Every structure is written in C-alpha cells, then in structure tokens.
Amino acid sequence: MTIEECYTNMGADYGDVLRRLGNEDRVKRFLGKIPEDTSFSLLCEAYEKGDGREAFRAAHSLKGICMNLGLTVLYTSSAALAEELRGGALTEASASMLEQVKKDYQIVTECIRKFLQG
C-alpha cells in the first residue's frame, strides 16, 4: 500500500498534508507516530473516570494532531467531541461522539499499521 492509498482508505487528504509538510518522507515519519501517540488512550481513560476536563484536553490534542496530518474523518469527529466537552461536562451527546471517535480512530490506526508493514 502506498502512502497515498493509505490516506484514501482513511478518508484523509494526502495532497493537503503533503503541501503542508513538504515531502513524503516527512509525512511518513509523522504518520508513523500516530499509533504511539497517547491522546486517544488518555481521552478514553479520562472519559471512563468521568473527568470531562481531561477528556476535553485529550480530544483537543487528538484534533490538533489530526488536523496537522490531514486525517480528515478523525479530525472531524474529534473536533466535534472536543467542542462538546469544552465546558468539561460529560453528556449523552459526548458519549455518542466518543463512540464515533473510537470507530474513526480504529480505521485510521489499522490503515497506518497496514501501510507501515508494507
């Protein structure tokens, strides 16, 4: 799988991130760090603990990472969740949004792992 195919499979914008980061090697290097990033796990842990403020911070971090790497679908769901959590309250809406983030994160990380395996 090429990096462009990986981006297509994730519902992401490869052309945008390539313009932003300047070359394919840089995109590959930063994309490869996504499975190691702790923002998603911190989000899930904070949500399970009922800590809306920490869940907001983690969702906001995940949103930023996704924006920088052109991970459009995961960016959209994590941005919506971050906005819902902005006041620090966990709601029925945020619970539903978290489920969407989990689905999108699963798709993204599976595509990245397949790409990294060659």
Helix ranges restricted to H, the chain: 3-10, 14-21, 24-31, 39-49, 52-68, 72-85, 92-117
CA distances from 107 to 7, 36, 85, 116 (A): 11, 15, 23, 14
| CATH number where 90 lies | 1.20.120
Domain count along the chain = 1
Domain that holds residue 11: 3-117
* Tens digit of pLDDT at every position of the chain (118 positions): 999 999 999 989 899 999 999 999 999 999 999 989 999 999 999 999 999 999 999 999 999 999 999 999 999 999 999 999 999 999 999 999 999 999 999 999 999 999 999 7
- pTM of the predicted protein model: 0.92
